[in-house]
Every structure is written in structure tokens, then in C-alpha cells.
Structure 1
């Protein structure tokens, strides 16, 4: 068995990525399970790696986790979102109503449409095959994105946000969509999500309510899921929080999933990573590191045992081969 490693998605990965998307259960806008919606996303990502951009201009850097020749997971970095149509979210605001005559002061929550994260970077598209769970691979998928950002600072906008899938009931119930989105988009959630994936955010700008909405007017079932992640997204949500991302009251307009954000310099993996020179040999330590090498189309990430001595990290021949490095090359490493 070979080491699992992250690399940029390729055109010939499409069938395997589509199979993963179909396993996701839907609701991942950036990983649609429809072939016609997914194909241009994979194609654009390949083009983004090949473009050698000089600044964040909307590129999408999708990566895959490969093990023994099979793609078992995906994740991505979006250099800057919403540049064409805007990036819309609801912000949960507080408003206060007071009556001196009645001696009453009542606080209420409002859902306010915002473009606060338009132009920011985003991390997303994290999905791991159910067959591969339990081996720390989800953590690799998550942290590899931060090493990519660290290695390509000029290409990634700051801050970075992440949208999580909103909560669904055991039978697929979506109380937020059913009580709000459906009324304005006049379609099923899956159809709206697919349209958003294939056509972009303009449809949201066209059909989303233009005025704030009082949360108190929503059914209790909808109120209860504001900012609540999908059960399957909870581990990823917790990993984001542990990296320094914070939930500040922003939610997805379709399913009310939480949006979290962080400044690049505050992301733990980036802050704790450092540049080392490669020495190939037998490590005398069992300490594991997440190690990245290369730039854009040659970018790779692997988890491996290593020994750090000053500005040098000693790694195995297998790890060096997976990274495409040789002795003397520079890599970025962070303790696992």
C-alpha cells in the first residue's frame, strides 16, 4: 500500500470525482452530483492550475486525495468568490423594539441579505468517501488547503471563509428551505441547488427577498436550524473552528448552514507551518508531519513521519517520491 497524497484534480479524474459527488447525498453546491454541472467545474479547476495567475481572480483550485491509484476524497480553495454575481449570505442581526407606554423592550433577530464576503477566498468541496473514513484522511483534506494557501499567498484573497451544509432531518427534511426559500424560488431544493451550481449566483440575486426577514415569523423548526451544520458536516465544522475560523452569524440562504471565516495569518496550520529543506533517509522519529511541495500544477501534500533538525526535515524515499522532491528541495511542514 502506498502513501495517500493530495494533488491537483486532473481531467481524467472526472468519473471518480462524479462517483464521490453521488455519494455525498446532495446539498454540496460546489460538488454537484449532476455530470453536466460537475464537468465544467473540474475543467475550470484544471485550467486554474494551468493559468499561473498573478492575483486572486476567481480561480478554483480543486484537489483530490489519491491512495493506491484511487481518488478517495476532494477539497478545494477558491481564490476569490462572487466576483461575477456577488456572494450572498444572510447575516443574523439583532433589532430592538421598545415601548415606554407598555414598559416593554423586545429583542428580535433579523435575516439580512449581505455581500460581506464577496471577493473573499473560500475553502470548500471537502468530501471523503465513506469507505475511507477513520484513517485521518478527512484531516488531510482539510489541512492540505491551508498549506496550499500558505504556498500561494499572492493568489488567495484574505480573509478566507467556509460554508457548511445546513441541517437535514433523517428523512431529508429541510425546514429552512421549506419555510422560506421555496416560497421565493418556487422549486425544490435540489433543483435550486443544481441551478446555482451550473448557472452561478445571479439567480440568487434575482429571486432572493430583498428586505430583511424577522426570524420570529419563521416556523420553530426553521428557527432551530439557523447556523446548524448537517450531521455529516459537523466534523469538518469542528475542524474549521479548531483552525481559528469563527461563526459570526452568517448563514447560507438556501439551507441556513453556518458560514465561518478567518484571516489567513490566524489559521493555525498556516501559522505553525515552516519551510524546511529535504533530506531523504530513515527518520529516527515517529513524529508525523503534513508536508507540501511544489507550486500550482506540481503541488503535492503527504502525511509522513519525519525528523526536523534546524532547517532540515528528513523524510523517507516513499514520502519524497509522493511529493516529487529530492534532497535539498524546499518543502513546507507542519506537525500532525
Structure 2
């Protein structure tokens, strides 16, 4: 089995990426399982790597994890979101009602539509083939994005956010959508999610309630899932928290999944990664590193043994080949 490596998505990856998307179970707006919605996203990602941008202007840097010629996972960095139509979330606010006559003080929560993260960067589209789980590849997919950000600081807006899939029952129940979104969008969740994937956020701006909504007016089942991630998204959610991301009361307008955010300099993997000169040799039984090389279309990440000596890291030939690195090239490494 060859060394798995992360690289930019290519047009000829489409069929494999679509197959992965169909395994996701739905609800991943940025990885739709319908070909007509996914194809323009892959195409735009390829164009983003080819564009050689000099500032964040909406590019999508989607990457795939490849092993033995097969795509086994995806993840992406969105340079700046919502520039065309806005990036809308609900913020859970607190409001207080008080009556001196009745000697009552009542606190209530409000769902307030907000554009607070319009123009920020986003990490997302993280999905790993079920056949590849258990080998640390989910962690690989997540951390490779932060190495990309560290290598391309001028191309990624600050702060960075991440939206998690909201909770869904074992039979597909979605209490938040059923009690709120359905009333205003007049369609099934899957249809709304597909429309959002293929048409952009303008439909949200057009149809989303324009006024705050009292949480107390929602059914109990809907109230209980506010900010609750999908069961399958819980490991990714916990990884984000361990990286320094924080949940500050922002949720998705469709499924109430949590949105977390962090300043780039506060992301653990960005902060702890270091630049080294490459030496190709035999690192023997050195510790594992996540190692990144290249820029944009040549960007690659591998997980391999390495031996650090000052500002030099010794890696083996297989890792160097996967990275496209030669002696004295500069790489960024993060201890695994």
C-alpha cells in the first residue's frame, strides 16, 4: 500500500468525489450528492487553484486524499464566504423581559439572522470514505487544511469558521427544519439543501424570516437540537474545538448545526507548524509528522516519519516523492 497524500482536486476526480458524496448521507451543503450540483463546485475548485490569486476573493481550495490511485477523502478551505449573496446564520441571543408590577424577570432566547461571518474564511467539506476510517485519516484531512492556510496566509481571510451538520434522527427526522425552515421555504430539507448547493445563498436572503424568532415558540424537539452536531459530525466538531475553534452561539439556518470560529493565529496546527529545509535520507524510527510542500496547484501533504535537526528535517524517499520535494526545498511540518 502506497503512502496516502493530500493534493488539489482535479477534474478527472469527479466520479470518485461524487461516489464519496453519495456515501455522506446528505446534509453536506458543500459536498452535494447530486452530480449537477457537485460538478460546478469541483470545476470552480480546479479554477481556484489555477487562478493564482493574490488575496481572498471567494476561491474554493478543495483537496482530496489519495492512496493507491483512489480518492478516499475530501476537505476544503474557502478563502472568503458570502461575497456574492452574504453568509447568513442565526445567532442565539438572550433577551430579558421584566415587570415591576408582577415582580417578574424572564429571560428568553432569540434566533437573530446575522451576516457576522460574511467575508470570513471557512473550512469544510471534510468527508472520509467509511472503508478508510480508523487509520487517523480524518485527523489528516482536518489538519492538512490548516497547513494549507499556514502556507497561503495572504489568500485566506481571517477569522476562519466551520459549519457542522446539524442533528438528524435515525429515521431522518429534522425537528428544527420541520418546525421553522419548512414554513418559510415551503420545500423538503433535501430540496432546499440541493437548491442552496447549486444556486447559492440568494434564496436564503429571499425567503429567510427577516425578524428575530423567540426560541420558546419552537417545539421542544427543535429547541433541544440548537447547536447540536449530527452524530457523524461529532468527531470533527471535537477536533475543531481542540484546534482552538469556539462555539459562540451561531447556528445554521437550515438544520441548526453549530458554527465555530477561530482567528488564524489561534489555530493550534497553524501555530505549532514550522518551516524546515528538506534532507532526503533515512529518518529511521523518527516521530510521525504531517508535512506540506508546494503552493496552490503543487500543494501536497503527507504523513510520514521525520527527524529534525535544527532547521532541517530528514524524510524518506517515498515521502519526498509524494511531496515532489528535493534536497534543500522548504516544507512545513507539524508533529503528529
Q: Same fold (TM over 0.5)?
A: yes
Provide the C-alpha distance between the structure 2 equivalents of 1:43 and 1:205, rounded to a whole number of angstroms: 25
Alignment of 1:144-293 (within 5 A): 144-293=144-293
- Describe the superposition over 1:201-259 as per-residue Cα deviations: whole angstroms up to 9, x where unpaired: 00000000000000000000000000000000000000000000000000000000000
Query: RMSD across aligned C-alpha pairs, in angstroms?
Result: 0.4
The aligned residue for residue 301 of structure 2 is: 301
Local SS of the residue matching 1:259: strand
The aligned residue for residue 8 of structure 2 is: 8
Name stretches of at least 5 consecutive residues in structure 1 with no aligned partner: none
Provide the C-alpha distance between the structure 2 equivalents of 1:51 and 1:263, rounded to a whole number of angstroms: 25
- Describe the superposition over 1:153-192 as per-residue Cα deviations: whole angstroms up to 9, x where unpaired: 0000000000000000010000000000000000000000
Local SS of the residue matching 1:301: strand
Q: Indicate whether 1:27 and 2:27 are aligned.
A: yes
What's the offset of the Cα at 1:292?
0.1
Provide the C-alpha distance between the structure 1 equivalents of 2:136 and 2:3, rounded to a whole number of angstroms: 13
What's the offset of the Cα at 1:286?
3.2
Runs ≥4 residues deviating over 2 A: none
Provide the C-alpha distance between the structure 2 equivalents of 1:266 and 1:215, rounded to a whole number of angstroms: 32
Provide the C-alpha distance between the structure 2 equivalents of 1:120 and 1:310, rounded to a whole number of angstroms: 36
Provide the C-alpha distance between the structure 2 equivalents of 1:117 and 1:86, rounded to a whole number of angstroms: 9
Provide the C-alpha distance between the structure 1 equivalents of 2:182 and 2:149, rounded to a whole number of angstroms: 36
Local SS of the residue matching 2:238: helix
Provide the C-alpha distance between the structure 1 equivalents of 2:284 and 2:165, rounded to a whole number of angstroms: 42
What's the offset of the Cα at 1:40?
0.3
The aligned residue for residue 136 of structure 2 is: 136
Q: Indicate whether 1:115 and 2:139 are aligned.
A: no
What's the offset of the Cα at 1:108?
0.2
Provide the C-alpha distance between the structure 1 equivalents of 2:230 and 2:184, rounded to a whole number of angstroms: 23
Local SS of the residue matching 2:43: helix
The aligned residue for residue 82 of structure 2 is: 82
Provide the C-alpha distance between the structure 2 equivalents of 1:333 and 1:323, rounded to a whole number of angstroms: 12
What's the offset of the Cα at 1:285?
3.5
Aligned residues: 336
What TM-score do you get using the length of structure 1 for normalisation?
A: 1.00
Local SS of the residue matching 2:90: strand
Name stretches of at least 5 consecutive residues in structure 2 with no aligned partner: none
Provide the C-alpha distance between the structure 2 equivalents of 1:67 and 1:178, rounded to a whole number of angstroms: 40
What's the offset of the Cα at 1:42?
0.1
What TM-score do you get using the length of structure 2 for normalisation?
A: 1.00
Local SS of the residue matching 1:26: coil
Provide the C-alpha distance between the structure 1 equivalents of 2:103 and 2:309, rounded to a whole number of angstroms: 69
Provide the C-alpha distance between the structure 1 equivalents of 2:96 and 2:129, rounded to a whole number of angstroms: 46
The aligned residue for residue 42 of structure 2 is: 42
